[in-house]
Amino acid sequence: MNDRLTLNLGVRYDHNTARIPTLDERDQEGNPTGQTIPGRDLYTWNALAPRLGFNLKLTKDGKTALRAHYGRYYRGVVTAEYSSRIGVSPHVTSSGSYDLATGQFVDPVVTEFSQNQSVDPNYKNPYTDQFAVSLERELFHNFGLSLHYINKRARRSSAWADTTGAYEDVTIFDDTGADATGKPVVVKRLLSDPAESQYVLSNRDYMKTDTHAFTAQVTKRMANHWQLVAAYTYLNSEGVLPSTRGGLTAAQRATSRFSDFGQNPNDLVNDGGKLLGDRPHTFKAQFMGELPWGLVVGANYLFQSGRPWARRSRISDPDLGFPNAPEINIEVRDGSRRVDNQSVLDMRLEKRFNLGKQAKFTVFADALNLFNTGTAQSVLSRIVDSEETFAVPSEFLLPRRLMLGAKFTF
């Protein structure tokens, strides 16, 4: 627009079609039956996404700048949401007790088959609205401060739902195992035959997330033989994702990829609260310095809050009418329970030898986790009646170690 304001204006158009091609039908043993399964289109997405942004120099010398961006981001088709669920070949999943003596299941009950799972043809593509604003200032020569705020608002995410099953509310109490509160919890009892349930993947209003993040960063450019970048981030992320049931080391996923989340409505009990990856406080610092005799030293420090978790319970009494006892969050993952914070320092010492105009030989030593932090990243069990393993720390960080290396470049 002028020598101080730049606008970035854009729009993106996407067209996606999810389809299954015509395939040979196979039996339960994987052998061709001689029949074919006709291909079909599942849904089509057309999306128009705006992008708006600007860079503004607040001072004539250009040492202070304000930047902002808004964009809507639509998700593409994820075939793994339906490829392992609706089944292009007939399949049946049953559940029941197994007799080790006879090698047979005792009165197995059909819990899932390819014909009782489908995708809503009106399934719309989930989206995220993202807003970011930053203020940057050069405080003095080669040293700057930047402040950043990011808001992400994800909506119209997907989950499965039982569209034909009959349910009733049942009140249970949090009265079992460690830290029981005695509070009432409403769960769902299945009244109809599990084999008659029809599961549909579609958008669900309750599948949404809100993320707020603020970062303050100082940057010292490489000058006078050293450089430094240090940043603190505050994060608050809440909502419901298909990965809500996952353990503390599970990936936080926004899609229903290889997931049956929602097919049992008890998945939604105490389903909100903090997301798996919510870490309120993170501090990072990276330093590099050039020493005499061609030596280079580097350091990387990381502090971050532990991941949140919630107590879970397997409801076998009262009988809720499912072939397998449902497992629920008996409390909301509100952030009051977290694994330990991490504090990790890594360092490197490096020496480079010039062997000619272009050839170089470098040797280096990496000292990792110098504090020998034994932070647990998970717990053995979140199930309240697992007396010996409930809340027991597990998945520890690797201990202090030294790694030596060399490289030749030319």
pLDDT tens profile 49-79: 999 999 999 999 989 999 999 999 999 999 9
* Domain count within the chain: 1
DSSP-derived secondary structure for 223-274: ETTEEEEEEEEEEEEEE--GGGG--TTS---SS-TT--TTSSGGGGTT--BB
Q: How much is the pLDDT for 91?
A: 66
Domain that holds residue 278: 5-409
Token pair belonging to 61 = 């010398």
E strand or H helix at 210, and its extent?
A: strand 209-223
Give the CATH number for residue 336: 2.40.170
Q: How much is the pLDDT for 178?
A: 84
Q: How much is the pLDDT for 38?
A: 81
DSSP-derived secondary structure for 80-122: GGTTTTT-SS--EEEEEEEETTTTEEEEEEEEEEGGGEEE-TT
The answer to whether 333 touches 308, Cβ cutoff 8 Å, is yes
Q: How much is the pLDDT for 89?
A: 55
What's the farthest any 2 CA atoms get from each other in the chain? 85
pTM of the shown model: 0.86
CA 54, CA 367: separation in Å to the nearest integer? Answer: 43
Q: How much is the pLDDT for 171?
A: 97
How far is CA 266 from each of CA 83, 113, 169, 271, 368, rounded to the nearest angstrom?
A: 24, 20, 10, 9, 43
Residues pairing with 53 in the sheet = 8, 69
Angle at 44 between CA 41 and CA 45, to 5 degrees: 160
Q: How much is the pLDDT for 87?
A: 57
Give every residue of the chain whose pLDDT is below 70, as ranges.
84-91, 111-114
CB atoms within 10 A of CB 19: 12
- Residue that the structure tokens 């075939």 belong to: 79
Q: How much is the pLDDT for 168?
A: 97
CA 169, CA 256: separation in Å to the nearest integer? Answer: 26
Instruction: Write the pLDDT tens digit of every residue in 209-220.
Output: 999 999 999 999
How far is CA 368 from each of CA 205, 225, 371, rounded to the nearest angstrom?
A: 45, 24, 9
Token pair belonging to 17 = 């079609």
**SS3 assignment, position 287:** strand
Token pair belonging to 255 = 């899609």
